[in-house]
Amino acid sequence: MKILQINKYSTLKGGTETVLFNTISLLRKAGHTVMLFSSENKSDIQSDAFYYLDFPELREAGFVNKMRFFFSFFYNRKAITQLDKILDIEKPDIVHIHLFLNSFSISILPAIKRKNIPIVMTLHDYRQICPSYLLLNGRNQICERCKKGYYYHCLFFRCSKGLFFESLLLTAEMYFRRLFYPVEKYVDAFICVSSFAQSKHWEFNTELGRRSFVIPNPSHSRAYQDTSKGNYMLYYGRLSREKGLFTLLKVARLLPQIEFRIAGRGLLELSGSLPSNVTFLGFKKGIDLESLILNSSFVIVPSEWYETFGLVVTESFSLSKPVIGANIGTIPELISHGKNGYLFESGNVKDLVDVISYANDMSKDDYSQMCKNANNSLERFSEHNYVTQLVNLYELCQNNNSREI
C-alpha cells in the first residue's frame, strides 16, 4: 500500500511528531511505501519520498509576512497546487493527515477528494471542535463554550494565549471551515487516540464522532528493567502553562527535601526564581532522556487540560518507571491508582504534595512491584497492535471508497 502522510512539521517538535515518526517507521517495516509532505524543508525521519511546502510559520513571522500570507491561513492555493502534483506523481492509496491547519489549510481536503483518494485524519488535539485547539480559555481554564458552534467565545475570552488578534484569526478560520469546508464531509475516518478524546469529539460533533475509531498511540515495548528508586522526581515535555508546570513549582517549594528535575522546551521560560530543589535541564531526547527517566523515582504529569493521550506516561512505562499523573483527560485511562502510579486532582497543590510525599516514602519492595506493573501496562499499546489496527482502517476506507465510486 502507498500512504502519503501529511503533517505541518517534519522535525521533532512534540508528541505529534513522535507518533508520526513511529507511524512512518512501522508502516515501512511492514512493507508499505510511505511518503511525507511537510511545511518544513528538512526531515528527522526517513521516508520513501519527502516533499515540503515553502510556507512560513505564521506565529513566528513578522507583521509584513503575516499580512502577506493572511488569506493562505484560510485557503492555501500554493498548497493545493503542490499537493495536486504530488498526488499525480505518487498516486497514493491513502492520505493520512495529522496537523495541517495554519499551514496547508482546510483547502487541501477537497483537493484530495477530487482524486477519489480516501482520507484518514488523526486527531492529536481538539482543533476540529475548538478554535484554539486546547479546550482552554485565555485564563487557562477548561472551556467548552464553543459547543453547538458558538465559536465567537474564543474571541470573547481571548482563548489563544489571551491574545486578541490570534483569537480573532482562529475564530474567523473556524467559522470559515465550518461554513464552507466541514471536515466530516471530506474525511473518511478519524483516529482518536483515546476513548476520552473520542467522547469529547462526539459531544461537539456527532457526525465526526460516528466516523471515529480509537487507536491508541504506539509505545515501543521493552523488557522489564529492575531499576532502583532514583533520588529525584522528573517532569519532561512541553513547557507550557496547561501542562501544570506552575502547580508543580508551587509543590516543589513546599517539599524542599525532594529534588525535582525539569526537561523540555516551549513557550515558558524557566529561569530566575526557580526553587533551589528544582533543576532545569533544557530539551532532552534519545539516550539522554532515557537515562533521565531510568534514574528518576517517578515521572510527574501534572496536566491541567484534557490530554488527548499522554505519551509521556507510556514512554515512562516502557522504561519500567511509574508515573504520578493528574486525573484529567486521558490520563486516568493509563494510570491505575496505586498499581502503576498515582493519580491526584488536577491543579490541586495540596493533593499533589500528599501524593508525592507518600510515593517518596514507598518501600523498596512496593516500588519494585509498581515498576513491574508499569511495564506490564503497555501490552495494549504495542507497536504490532497499532500498525495492525491502522492498516485495517486504511483497508476499510479503501473498500468503502471503492463502493462509493
Per-residue confidence (pLDDT) for residue 404, from 0 to 100 = 67
Q: Please give the chain's pLDDT, 405 residues, in tens.
A: 999 999 999 998 889 999 999 999 999 999 999 999 999 999 999 999 999 998 766 665 566 666 777 888 899 999 999 999 999 999 999 999 999 998 999 999 999 999 999 999 999 999 999 999 999 999 999 999 999 999 999 999 999 989 998 899 999 999 999 999 999 999 999 999 999 999 999 999 999 999 999 999 999 878 887 778 999 999 999 998 899 999 999 999 999 999 999 999 876 666 667 899 999 999 999 999 999 999 999 999 999 999 999 999 999 999 999 999 999 999 999 999 999 999 999 999 999 999 999 999 999 999 999 999 999 999 889 999 999 999 999 999 999 987 665
Structural domains of the chain, with CATH: 2-134+177-218+382-404 (3.40.50.2000), 232-377 (3.40.50.2000)
Per-residue confidence (pLDDT) for residue 233, from 0 to 100 = 98
Residue 166: which of 212, 215, 217, 131 has the closest Cα? Answer: 131
Per-residue confidence (pLDDT) for residue 401, from 0 to 100 = 86
Sheet holding 232-239, edge to edge: 278-280, 259-266, 232-239, 298-301, 323-326, 341-344
Per-residue confidence (pLDDT) for residue 57, from 0 to 100 = 66
Residue 288: which of 322, 325, 306, 263 has the closest Cα? Answer: 263
Give the Cα separation of 355 and 376 in Å (integer).
22
pTM of the full structure: 0.93
Per-residue confidence (pLDDT) for residue 116, from 0 to 100 = 97
